[in-house]
Chain A
Amino acid sequence: MLIEVRNLTKSFQKGDETITPLRDVSLDIDEREFVSLMGPSGTGKSTLLNLIAGIDKPTSGTITVNGTEITTISRSRLAKWRAVNVGYIFQTHNLIPVLTAYENVELPLLLLPFNRAERRRRVQIALEAVELLDRASHYPRQLSGGQEQRVGIARAIVTDPRVVVADEPTGDLDSATSSHILELLQRLNSDLGTTLLMVTHDADAAAVAGRQLRLDDGRLISDERNGSGHVVDAPQPKPGKGIHV
């Protein structure tokens, strides 16, 4: 098991009100899986994604990724862990505007012990994987929306992380470009064996993934694999037993 989520709850204060975007969620994700996370706005999809990516801390519950329980480690160790284990694809690509496509993709590698030659080799492979090697010296403003998103994907995979998370990666793109990006993600999963967790609103986009999780009101309500549905009954599995279908 690559990712084990147990009884995850996240709540925060907003004025006098306590908001709980995620309630007692448990799930398991295997290596090389492509999982989509669906649900209406405000149901906790991005919160769950951010918790698994290690950029947010839960109120309770645990997340174990590849044997490391990331909910208890310090902020600085978590940063190092992210650099090695997580690739993050943003909705709006979030490239650094002053850096070229090459430099943007190289950025996460600067944190790892690679020399310049190794970094160059890896960046070239990543840019080739997203078919943008010929745009390496272009700045984000010189790229189209789809190209920017592909650079964002190259940046997410360049360190060869254990898991790549994508927060609505097609949310800002037209349908043709979206299809291209989804195809690319699918290829990354099937050809390179990258474990992918993707948040999306779009049912068609979710269908590209081999497994679809659905959240509602902060709870996991269904877990389906292509061709075989499985509705998760409340209450969810007991601590220690994920819902790996």
Chain B
Amino acid sequence: MFKFMPYLLKTLWRHRARTMLTVSGSAVALFVFCFVGSVQEGLDRLTSQKDSTLIVFQANKFCPATSHLPQDYDQIIRKMPGVREVVPIQVFTNNCRASLDVVVFYGVPAEKVQKIRDFELIEGSWDEFKSNQDAGIVGEAVARRRGLKLGTKFSVGEVKVTVAGIFNSSNKSEEDYVYTHLDFLQRTPGMNLVGTVTQHEVVLNNADDSVRMARAIDDKFRGGPVETDTRTKGVFQASSLSDLIDLIELSHYLGYACVGLMTMLISTTTFMAVQDRIKEHSILQTLGFSGSIVFLLVLAESVLISIGGGVVGTGAAMLTLASSGLSVGAEAVTIAFSPSIKLATAGLTGSLIVGFVAGVLPAMAAARADIVTGLRQA
């Protein structure tokens, strides 16, 4: 088929307006498909991870602003067998409801951040963070979205933080958070939260123990000053995002609809191209091209258009996802929209399949057309 490549490419170029429009349409469809896919992937990353981390929250509370657990619960939990680490966390967010621009502050004892997270500072230093009470380290996505630089002072509500570092993480959702000193966040004017935290993060020795340990922690504080609701981190995050999950599931179908639309668009264009070139295909067959070669030529046109759209759409989606730092969040849990090789592969493979599917019927029509009738066409 490579021998026919000049013919194929020149044929597509002959109707460049039509080709470009179809490629553009396909690119938009693939862009939406990848974008929706990234939201789904982000959600899956948050909810399906089998982790050994538990989140202890105040029972019957949902928004971080209303959960107030005694900070010294960490001492009690730490003594329980099977617990490796307990980190008290004060959470502050600018918006508890679903939003595309949620800023979440995690107040954590400074010395524990490196212990429980795999953050890599791409700018700034840990010492600077540890030695300044009002210092914060900012996730790369937040920094990009809000235009934050090293040394920038920024505030959300009453919380005013100086950027001491910008980090990235293998867990892209973490890049949507700002980490500060725990007592700094507790002493934020107007909050008066000293001695309480929003949640405790419990790291277990064994992930298989998570359900049993969650029950044991809740039993421990049942009847105490503040009752707890303990869940694995994945379940906790899924619960926080429950309002969004149905929407995200629905948007998944939107992605598939875009692929269907793209199939119809390419099929229509290829059919039009075949209709325009009935005579040309008859000439080729007169010269000795078999029906199967004509079939493959038309199919190849459809695949080339589709892959063109796939490369542009998937590429644009990956660039946008990588550069925008977009996320959606609710109740201080965020879903990061991030690019991935899996997503890019799905986009390109999808476009390849669409090209084949869209081209089959027009290719059959071209291959089966009667030669003499075709030659008579003006």
Which residues of A65-89 are within 8 A (CB) of B? 75-76, 79-80, 82-84, 86, 88
User: Closest chain A residue to B287 by CB distance?
Assistant: A108
Contact B291 A79 (CB under 8 A): yes
Q: Does residue A45 face the partner (Cβ distance < 8 Å to B)?
A: no
A94 within 8 A of B: yes
In the complex, A184 has a CB within 8 A of chain B: no
Q: B289 and A111: CB pair below 8 A?
A: yes
Of the listed stretches B21-29, B72-80, B228-236, B277-285, name the one at the interface; the rest are far from the partner chain. B277-285
Q: Which of B4, B283, B290 contacts A90 (CB 8 A)?
A: B283
Within the complex, the shortest CB–CB distance from A192 to chain B, in Å, comes to 19
Within residues 39 to 80 of chain A, which ones have a CB less than 8 A from any CB in chain B?
Answer: 50, 53, 55-56, 75-76, 79-80
Contact with A along B1-13 (1 / 0, CB 8 A): 0011011001101
Is A97 a contact partner of B14 (Cβ separation < 8 A)?
yes
How many chain B residues touch A (Cβ–Cβ < 8 Å)? 24
Binary per-residue interface labels of chain B (257-282) against chain A in the complex, 1 for a CB within 8 Å, 0 otherwise: 00000000000000000000001100
Query: Looking at the complex, which one of B3, B286, B288 makes contact with A84 (CB distance below 8 Å)?
Result: B288
Looking at chain A's contact residues, the main secondary structure is helix
B287 touches A55 (CB 8 A): no
Residues of chain B within 8 A of A56, CB atoms compared: 371-372
A50→B372 contact, CB < 8 A: yes
- A98 to B14, Cβ gap below 8 A? yes
Contacts of B4 in A (CB 8 A): 110
User: How far is the CB of B363 from the nearest CB of chain A, in Å?
Assistant: 15
Known: A98-B10, A98-B13, A110-B4. A83 touches B288 (CB 8 A): yes
Q: Is A53 touching B11 in the complex (CB atoms < 8 A)?
A: no
Nearest residue (CB) in A for B279 is A94
On chain A, the residues within 8 Å of B287 by CB distance are 82-83, 88, 107-108, 111, 155
A44 to B186, CA, bound (A): 99
- Chain A CB within 10 A, most for which of B10, B288, B292: B288
Q: How far is the CB of A102 from chain B (nearest CB, A)?
A: 11
Task: Tell me if A103 is interfacial: C-beta within 8 Å of chain B.
Answer: yes
In Å, the complex CA distance between A155 and B372 comes to: 19
| A86–B287 CA distance with the chains assembled, in angstroms | 8
Q: Do residues A110 and B286 form an inter-chain contact, with CB atoms below 8 A?
A: no
Given the known inter-chain contacts A79-B290, A88-B286, A108-B287, please indicate yes or no for A99 contacting B6, CB distance below 8 A.
yes
Chain A residues contacting B292 (CB-CB under 8 Å) are 76
Query: Do residues B291 and A82 form an inter-chain contact, with CB atoms below 8 A?
Result: no
**Structural contact, A111 and B288, CB atoms closer than 8 A:** yes
Is B7 a contact of A82 with CB atoms below 8 Å?
no
Chain B residues near A97 (CB, 8 Å)? 14
Does any Cβ of B come within 8 Å of A96's Cβ?
A: yes
CB <8 Å contact, A76 and B286 = no
How far does the alpha carbon of A111 sit from the alpha carbon of B296 in the complex, in Å?
14
**Using a Cβ–Cβ cut-off of 8 Å, how many residues does chain A contribute to the interface with B?**
26
Instruction: Tell me whether A99 and B10 are in contact in the complex, defined as CB-CB below 8 angstroms, given that A94-B283, A110-B4 are known contacts.
Output: yes
Taking the closest CB of chain B, its distance from the CB of A199, in whole angstroms, is 13
A82 near B372: Cβ-Cβ < 8 Å: no
Question: A222 vs B238: C-alpha distance in the bound complex, in angstroms?
Answer: 91
**A79 partner, pick from B7, B285, B375, beta carbons under 8 A:** B285
Instruction: Tell me, in angstroms, the Cα distance from A42 to B95 when the chains sit together.
Output: 83
Asked if B280 and A53 make an inter-chain contact with CB atoms under 8 angstroms apart, the answer reads no
**Distance of A83 Cα from B289 Cα, bound (Å):** 7
Question: In whole angstroms, what is the CA distance A72 to B7 when docked?
Answer: 32
Determine whether the beta carbon of A76 is less than 8 Å from that of B371: no
Q: Taking CB as reference atom, which chain B residue is nearest A97?
A: B14
Minimum Cβ distance to chain A for residue B305 (Å): 16
Interfacial chain A residues near B375, Cβ < 8 Å: 55, 90, 94
**Chain A residue with the shortest CB-CB distance to B277:** A96
Given A50-B372, A55-B371: A103 touches B291 (CB 8 Å cut-off) = no
Q: Which of B349-375 contact A (CB under 8 A)?
A: 371-372, 375
| Complex Cα–Cα for A55 and B289 (A) | 11
**Counting chain A CB atoms within 10 Å of each CB, which of B291, B292, B375 scores highest?**
B375
Complex: A79 Cα to B295 Cα, angstroms: 13
Beyond A79-B291, A82-B288, A86-B288, 20 additional pairs, beta carbon < 8 A: A50-B372, A55-B285, A55-B286, A76-B291, A76-B292, A79-B285, A79-B293, A80-B290, A83-B289, A90-B286, A94-B375, A96-B284, A98-B10, A98-B11, A99-B7, A99-B10, A107-B7, A108-B288, A110-B4, A155-B287
List 15 contacting pairs A-B, 8 Å CB cutoff, sorted by A.
A50-B372, A55-B372, A76-B291, A79-B290, A79-B293, A82-B286, A83-B289, A90-B283, A96-B280, A97-B14, A107-B7, A107-B287, A111-B287, A111-B288, A155-B287
